[in-house]
Amino acid sequence: MLKLIQGATLYAPEYLGAQDVLIADSRILKTADEIPVSSAYDVQVVDGRGMLLFPGFIDSHVHILGGGGEGSYHTRTPEIMLTDITSGGVTTVVGCLGTDGTTRNMASLLAKARGLEEEGITAYIYTGSYQVPVRTLTGSIMDDLILIDKVVGCGEIAISDHRSSQPSREEFARIVGDTRVGGILSGKAGLVNIHMGDGDRMLSYLRYVAEETEIPPSNMLPTHINRSTRLLQDGINYAATLGGYVDLTTSSDPDFLEEDEVKASTGLRLMLEQGVPKKQITFSSDGQGSIPIFGRDGTFLGLGVGRVTSLYREVRDAILQEKVDITTALLPVTTNPADLLKLPSKGRIAAGCDADLVLVDKDTLQIHTVLAKGRLMVQEGLPVVKGTFE
């Protein structure tokens, strides 16, 4: 089946104006000002007039098995469902474990990623969890990257947090080094996804790697960088002075932000205003992970659940509220994570790329249609493909 999206205003993510997009199976065949429909072919036409067309979004930090448990066993969040992902315009996810690497493990994470692929989206995983030594499938970070197709990096490794294994900076550098070499040998990103807590050490471990070793900052992605204004400022300095990459978490409820927490959309604007190159900023949702609330003494106070749908909410807020231009606001969920994760067929609209596409209303920017690898997943704002147990 051929699909033709007609008349949408195309952001690839750069602005290309009104374009038609022809899809063959799971790939984009071509884009052009006008593509005529031939009666000789069976073509499904999608009317894109009055809409903007974006690349499908990439969420580089999702707890696809669920997360949490910090409030004991009953606080473990459930596994994610397909429509939790697609209804937010996300077509590619990278799954991770998080705090609990015992009752959730790498074999289950890999199986869940393969299940999501079978249901219609693209899914990868990080090997490991908060813990150091890193818990892997094969016994080695490097071996996991080289031998297991879905593994694109390591994480989320926790630092500057009371829940981390408190690794030394040398141990941390070794994890980054092994992940980088595994990526080189497998042709993958070799990216370390780093959970940033609210401790006083902040990004000092990443600075040590960037300044005292030969490893480039592109192998490290610190997330939750907007959990406080001081960590955000440290992230701005790290990105601006050392060329580091930084990730803003979107899943916090904007109506119930913790004291000193910064919305991802606001954090994006502040970073751009203070000179952080726009190519070094990514968003991720922390979707389906727990959002624990702790007192100053470390006592657990309460728990929420992250939502993948928050990813596009913060992109939309960046455009409508923070007045960031559309192309720049799209970069943290399209080409930036695609480039960092070495996924050349993702995050952009061009011939040969995967047909991961999102149509939104040009006035409200609300999601109307989502296609993942050419398959219609959401139509008129509602999921039309559901997961196996939905």
Q: Would 390 be classed as within a structural domain?
A: no
Domain check: are 120 and 67 in the same one?
yes
| Cβ–Cβ under 8 Å, residues 26 and 374 | yes
- The CATH number that applies at residue 276 is 3.20.20.140
Tell me what the pLDDT averaged over the chain comes to: 94
Instruction: Count other Cβ atoms within 10 Å, centred on residue 118.
Output: 12
pLDDT over 70 percentage in the chain: 96
Domain check: are 170 and 315 in the same one?
yes
Amino acid 39 reads: S
Q: Would 227 be classed as within a structural domain?
A: yes
- Helix 264-273 and helix 310-320: axis angle, to 10°? 50
- The CATH number that applies at residue 368 is 2.30.40.10
Domain check: are 89 and 190 in the same one?
yes
pLDDT value at 46 more than 60: yes
Q: Would 62 be classed as within a structural domain?
A: yes
The residues that bridge with 159 in the sheet, in sequence order, are 196
Domain check: are 231 and 108 in the same one?
yes
Domain check: are 49 and 83 in the same one?
no
CA distance 379 to 203: 42
From the number of C-beta atoms within 10 Å of its C-beta (0-12, 13-18, 19+), residue 216 rates as middle
pLDDT at position 289, please? 86
Cα 176 to chain centroid distance, Å, stands at: 19
Domain check: are 31 and 108 in the same one?
no
Q: Would 389 be classed as within a structural domain?
A: no
Question: In sequence order, which residues have a C-beta less than 8 Å from that of residue 98 and are 6 or more positions away?
Answer: 63, 67, 68, 104, 129, 130, 156, 195, 289, 290
Count how many domains the chain has. 2
Q: Would 284 be classed as within a structural domain?
A: yes
CA distance 253 to 220: 26
CA angle 90/94/100 to nearest 5° reads: 125
- 9-12, long-range: CB < 8 A, 24+ apart: 9/51, 9/52, 9/53, 9/362, 10/52, 10/53, 10/349, 11/52, 11/53, 11/54, 11/55, 11/326, 11/327, 11/330, 11/349, 12/55, 12/348, 12/349, 12/350
pLDDT at position 135, please? 94
What number is the average pLDDT over the span 302-323? Answer: 93
Q: Would 186 be classed as within a structural domain?
A: yes
pLDDT value at 148 more than 60: yes
pLDDT value at 47 more than 90: yes
As annotated, the active-site residues are 286
Q: Which residue has the tokens 């469902």?
A: 81
pLDDT value at 295 more than 70: no
pLDDT digits (tens, 9 = 90+) for 72-94: 888 888 999 999 999 999 999 99
**Token code pair at residue 169:** 């900076």
Domain check: are 36 and 63 in the same one?
no
3-state class of 245 per DSSP? coil
pLDDT value at 255 more than 70: no
pLDDT value at 256 more than 60: no
pLDDT at position 253, please? 63
Q: Would 139 be classed as within a structural domain?
A: yes
Q: Would 120 be classed as within a structural domain?
A: yes
Residues of the domain holding 42: 2-54+347-383
What number is the average pLDDT over the span 158-167? Answer: 95
| Cβ–Cβ under 8 Å, residues 189 and 152 | yes
36 against 224, higher pLDDT: 224
pLDDT at position 296, please? 64
Domain check: are 185 and 325 in the same one?
yes
What number is the average pLDDT over the span 364-380? Answer: 97
pLDDT digits (tens, 9 = 90+) for 85-137: 999 999 999 999 999 999 999 999 999 999 999 999 999 999 999 999 999 99
* R_g over Cα of the chain: 20
Write out 41-105 in H/E/C secondary structure.
CCEEEEECCCEEEEECEEEEEECCCCCECCCCHHHECCCCCHHHHHCCCEEEEEECCCCCCCCCC
Domain check: are 194 and 48 in the same one?
no
Number of H helices, E strands in the chain: 10, 19
Domain check: are 191 and 117 in the same one?
yes
pLDDT digits (tens, 9 = 90+) for 227-252: 999 999 999 999 999 999 999 999 87
pLDDT at position 110, please? 98
CA distance 371 to 390: 19
pLDDT at position 68, please? 80
